[in-house]
A and B are shown apart, each in its own frame.
Chain A
Amino acid sequence: NAGVMQNPRHLVRRRGQEARLRCSPMKGHSHVYWYRQLPEEGLKFMVYLQKENIIDESGMPKERFSAEFPKEGPSILRIQQVVRGDSAAYFCASSLEDSNTEAFFGQGTRLTVV
């Protein structure tokens, strides 16, 4: 089991472009979480998804950000029209169904907006 895989590890985008971050959960895991870590800050919850469903998106900015976890394929965090303030490390975690939330993390995608 390769663990939670995130790609790309590093992503550079110009202001106004779109950023797509991918997360492949651990085999058998049906729950995915996305977190954002700004410089000098902790992990901020963004969204919690199960297959084809968004369970909790209370941490997602209202505009430009969206997430999905389709029946097949990885979870995608999409940021449209990126701005400098979106520069951060984005972490994905996955867990088993009914696992009491022990989450396994990916290595993150570092987004830099220039």
Chain B
Amino acid sequence: AQRVTQPEKLLSVFKGAPVELKCNYSYSGSPELFWYVQYSRQRLQLLLRHISRESIKGFTADLNKGETSFHLKKPFAQEEDSAMYYCALAGNTDKLIFGTGTRLQVFP
């Protein structure tokens, strides 16, 4: 079964601190993994995807097939990073399966 687990509902850090939002997945094939972000009062939008291997707004995520993880990282958090972050997996039917989300709060 396809499943995405985000163990933390809330992650609070101070500005400038490193951030790691955890995501683990369960999927028998080769998954495509994504991070979506929802800023306050805005629609959900794609932050990054593992196949592009890019850094967006200072965030990176590496797919670790051995640990079935796709953690989102940023070395120095900014206040404007405060948002809801969702990890998502696309399997062979193309539908996106989302985790329950982690709310990131960055304090000044």
Q: Tell whether A42 pairs with B32 under 8 Å between CB atoms, given A100-B51, A101-B94, A105-B45.
A: no
Q: Which residues of A contact B43 (CB under 8 A)?
A: 3-4, 105-108
Q: Which residues of B, 19-73, contact A by the 8 Å Cβ criterion? A: 32, 34, 36, 42-46, 49, 51
Q: Which residues of A contact B42 (CB under 8 A)?
A: 107
Q: Which residues of B contact A42 (CB under 8 A)?
A: 6, 86, 98-101
Q: Tell whether A103 pairs with B46 under 8 Å between CB atoms, given A31-B94, A48-B93, A56-B95.
A: yes
B52 to chain A, nearest CB (A): 10
Question: Any chain B CB within 8 A of the CB of A63?
Answer: no
Q: Report how many residues on chain B are interfacial, defined by Cβ distance under 8 Å.
A: 22
B97 to chain A, nearest CB (A): 6
Q: Report how many residues on chain A are interfacial, defined by Cβ distance under 8 Å.
A: 25
Question: Any chain B CB within 8 A of the CB of A65?
Answer: no
A100 touches B32 (CB 8 A): yes
B90 touches A101 (CB 8 A): yes
Q: What's the Cα separation between A81 and B43 when bound, in Å?
A: 28
Question: Any chain A CB within 8 A of the CB of B96?
Answer: yes
Question: Any chain B CB within 8 A of the CB of A33?
Answer: yes
A35 to chain B, nearest CB (A): 7
Q: Which residues of A contact B36 (CB under 8 A)?
A: 105
Q: Tell whether A35 pairs with B98 under 8 Å between CB atoms, given A102-B46, A103-B46.
A: yes
Given A35-B98, A93-B44, A104-B45, 14 further pairs, Cβ under 8 A: A42-B6, A42-B99, A42-B100, A42-B101, A45-B96, A48-B93, A48-B94, A55-B93, A100-B90, A101-B32, A102-B34, A102-B46, A103-B96, A108-B43
